[in-house]
Amino acid sequence: MSTSAILLPLDTLGRHRLKVAFVGTHGVGKTTLCFDLAAQLKRLDLGVDIVKEVARRCPLPINEETTLDAQAWILHTQIAEEIEASSQYEVVVCDRSVLDNYAYLVARSGKQPQLEPLVRQWVQGYQALFKVPVTGLPAFDGKRAVSPTFQQQIDQIIDELVQQFGVAVHHLDPHDRAGWTVAALQYLGLPTQPPQIDLFSSRE
């Protein structure tokens, strides 16, 4: 299969573009998955960018001590960085989505009617959302919380928001962690291996 056969969805400007996100609570391996998937997509000769987790750069408190202002900063920064990446690359892989960011806001401050229309609209712009399951306890990484209770709380709120907004989410198999990247490629209808080049084909 040649890379010219890879047809990505069209965006509103008629360009072939693809934006996907790994969603889920902290400490489940989303960042590793983002880089693994991006590497695979680059091997398919696609232009790829990663929108890294913006919460790590938030100048305000996060985790259990977060504030409404902090989560509003994270939510809007996520959107801004997705817009920038999508304007320049064929494929954008997001470490989290606006749905995740809103889940942390809900956990701290409750639902925000003034923000829900924005979240509901923006979440429709992902061609695929992959839910990463909890398979172990969170480990300290210098930034994110290590409380299992808080980890499970966020995971539950994300599931509730998925139901509330009627979002289509592909759930990754918790028993096949090693196969998550391949599962994402297959769900997207993309090759799991780079195309083979026949170096010995005859030339006319």
pTM of this prediction exceeds 0.85: yes
**What is the rounded distance in angstroms from the CA atom of residue 71 to the CA atom of residue 62?**
8
Amino acid 138: pLDDT: 85
**What is the rounded distance in angstroms from the CA atom of residue 130 to the CA atom of residue 24?**
8
Task: Name the residue type at position 193.
Answer: Q
Amino acid 193: pLDDT: 83
Amino acid 10: pLDDT: 59
Amino acid 176: pLDDT: 96
C-alpha 114: how far from chain center: 24
Amino acid 96: pLDDT: 94
**What is the rounded distance in angstroms from the CA atom of residue 146 to the CA atom of residue 71?**
19
Strands 128-131 and 170-171: parallel
Task: Name the residue type at position 9.
Answer: P
Amino acid 140: pLDDT: 78
Mean pLDDT by 10 residues, the chain (204 residues): 52 71 95 96 94 94 91 95 95 96 94 95 95 90 88 96 96 96 94 66 48
Radius of gyration of the chain (CA): 18
Amino acid 121: pLDDT: 95
Domains of the chain: 14-187 (3.40.50.300)
Amino acid 6: pLDDT: 63
**What is the rounded distance in angstroms from the CA atom of residue 81 to the CA atom of residue 50?**
10
**What is the rounded distance in angstroms from the CA atom of residue 143 to the CA atom of residue 117?**
30
